[in-house]
Amino acid sequence: MTARRRTLVALLAAAALLGSLACRRTPAPAVKGPTGEGPQPGGQVVVAALGDITTLNEYQSSGDAGEADVIDLLFPALMVEQPDYQLHPPSFAPRLATSWEFSADNRDLTFHLRPDARWSDGTPVTAEDVRFTFLAQKDPRVDSVGMEIKDFIKDVEVVDPHTVRFHFSRVYPYQLMDANDGHIVPAHAWGKVPFDKWRTTDFEKILVTGGPFRLAAHIPQQTIVLQRDPTYWNAPRPYLDRLVFRILPDMAGQLAQLFAGDVDVVPSVAPQEADRVVADPDLRLVEYPSRLWGLVGWNNRRSMFADRRVRRALSLGINRKALVDTVFRGHAKLATGPILSSMWAFDRSLPQLPYDQAQAAALLAQAGWRDSNGDGILERDGKPFAFDLLYPAANTLRREMALLIQADLARLGIKVRPVQVEFTSLIARVEAGDFDAVLWAWEEATKIDLTSTWSTPSPGQGSNNFIGYSNPEVDRMIAIAREEPDYTRAKVLLDRIQEAIVADQPVTFLYEANRLVATSRRLEGADINAAGVFFNIDDWYWSR
């Protein structure tokens, strides 16, 4: 509940205890009291997981969403972000911190910590742990994903065991959010490992946790078992005894086990399977707008896509509505621009780009693309308009999109060659700029900072701007908006930025997907929403 990082989405994406888990699930459901009212503790929930965890150290994690869910259940955060970012920047509820306040000049932020918080080995959670976590986040030897989030935090000061103060180098809108980013880790246990040894350390062997659950067992590529921590300091503790993540890398296999009753929660249901879930009286489908959006990334560095008239023509020439309706079966909406329509900063005056092949053809002609030899393919300077469209292998949704795009652009005289690439290789090619066009998706953070994706990449600095988009005026406005402390003034700038990026069409904005989560109908209390599947895991229980 703390990560502000943008996540790359691959839509592909104890022995006795484990022996019992290998069998068909038979939960010990929560039972009602004598009056028949109120949930009682007990039982386990089995969750389907696409992949195994690679580490339980957040600052050595690649940022995988499933891994982040497990870490979130094991480690404490200063605050818990609330799912209210549609109307304004997100608010926060207390967790390890009971209260916080800024100094008069807004350059210092002080947190007051719970005095009763304990690690799983009984050691108090103190301000020293918060400072140690900050040092790890900032240290280049650790090289954690998202370390740039702490760029404007100069230092973290231990005032006393239960008071910690963040010192900022500047005032900007996301100070509270950036201070909260990342879970707190145990200084007394992990501080014994030098930072330059973190990447080669198995942190499961020195695991000390401080969340509502503890790690009970982990069989690689099979099962992760979390047990309720009876000493957890934040009331109320979860009703559930256990949360079991069963590794099922095939989505069809996940649904098969869900329908059989062997799995209780599938966190990501494919759109084409939604009707099957709805039709089953024993299951419930939860749907909400996610922060996932998809695009076609045009390599702006290549001459074929350097002209914004061409990029606009490509977007006009793709029937995006038909693509969304066909592929997502009504469980997505058209994307408009670089900020999601569910976010407070979205410019609601932005018009949707229509499907207009006549206008697309005119723009292509203006840019010098014509069928000079009558073979049905446009040429310019003797070179045909033909390119490879990369997408992740074994991803049926992206394959379906690629074929629809191929058919649409063929009507304009453009030859598209869909090419599936193994996901690790695809990432390497995209990061190296070795592509023409790629079907891609991002899961956005709730922090509105467009720097990483839309500012001109600087040599030696990390960037998500893999398409090589560059507009000096956009760079200037992003730099100002990033540091504007007044949200109203920032919104004016953000509207202008969105308008400029949409005019440039560095990518074709395809869709904003809904999240589809399937659960057993007997699972009660689960408020699954945009903040996360396990947002209120403490309240989950089994009905009779």
Please report the pLDDT score of residue 21 as a whole number. 31
- Percentages helix, strand, coil for the chain, rounded to the nearest 5? 30, 25, 45
Identity of the residue numbered 172? Y
Beta bridge mates, 287: 516
pLDDT band at 461 (very low <50, low <70, confident <90, very high): low
Which has the closest alpha carbon to 423: 450, 399, 395?
Answer: 395
The predicted pLDDT at position 183 comes to 98
Single-letter residue type at 126? T
pLDDT band, residue 91 (cuts 50/70/90): very high
Strand bridging mode 79-81 / 92-94: antiparallel
What is the average per-residue pLDDT within 138-154? 91
DSSP assignment letter at 84: -
Residue with the larger pLDDT of the pair 424 and 29:
424
Residue 71 has pLDDT above 70, yes or no: yes
| Interval 399-433: pLDDT, tens | 999 999 999 999 999 999 999 999 889 989 998 99
C-alpha distances out from residue 85 to 34, 46, 81, 504, Å: 41, 30, 9, 27
Map out the domains of the chain with their CATH numbers: 1-33+42-73+209-282+521-544 (3.40.190.10), 76-191 (3.90.76.10), 290-514 (3.10.105.10)
Q: Is the pTM here over 0.95, yes or no?
A: no
Tell me the pLDDT tens digit for each residue of 35-63. 446 788 999 999 999 899 999 999 998 77
pLDDT at 514: 96
Above 50 in pLDDT, residue 305?
yes
295 to each of 204, 437, 464, 496, 510, how far by Cα in Å?
37, 10, 14, 21, 5
Computed over every residue of the chain, the mean pLDDT equals 91
- pLDDT of 462: 64
Q: Where are the beta strands (DSSP E) in 208-282?
A: 213-219, 223-228, 242-247, 265-266
Which pairing describes strands 213-219 and 163-168: parallel, antiparallel, or unpaired?
unpaired
Residue 1 clears pLDDT 90, i.e. is over it: no
Q: Are 286 and 517 in contact (CB under 8 A)?
A: yes
If DSSP codes are grouped into helix, strand and coil, which group holds residue 517? strand
Write the pLDDT tens digit of every residue in 476-521: 999 999 888 888 999 999 999 999 999 999 999 999 999 999 999 9
Q: How confident is the model at residue 29 (pLDDT cuts 50, 70, 90)?
A: very low
HSE toward the beta carbon, residue 405, CA cutoff 13 A: 31
pLDDT above 50 (res 284): yes
Residue 289 has what pLDDT? 93
**CA-CA distance, 328 to 448, in Å (whole number)?**
26
The proportion of the chain whose per-residue pLDDT surpasses 90, expressed as a percent, equals 81
What does the pLDDT read at residue 405?
Answer: 99
Of the listed ranges 209-218, 298-307, 477-486, 517-526, the one predicted with least confidence? 477-486
DSSP 245: E
Q: What is the mean pLDDT of residues 114-125?
A: 98
The per-residue pLDDT for 59 is 96
CA 95 vs CA 1, 71, 79, 495, 528: distances in Å: 11, 16, 5, 34, 19
β-strand pairing of 242-247 with 44-49: parallel
Contact between 187 and 211 under an 8 Å Cβ cutoff? The reply is: no
Among 518, 457, 24, 530, CA closest to 284: 518
Type of residue numbered 44: Q
Q: What is the pLDDT of residue 109?
A: 99
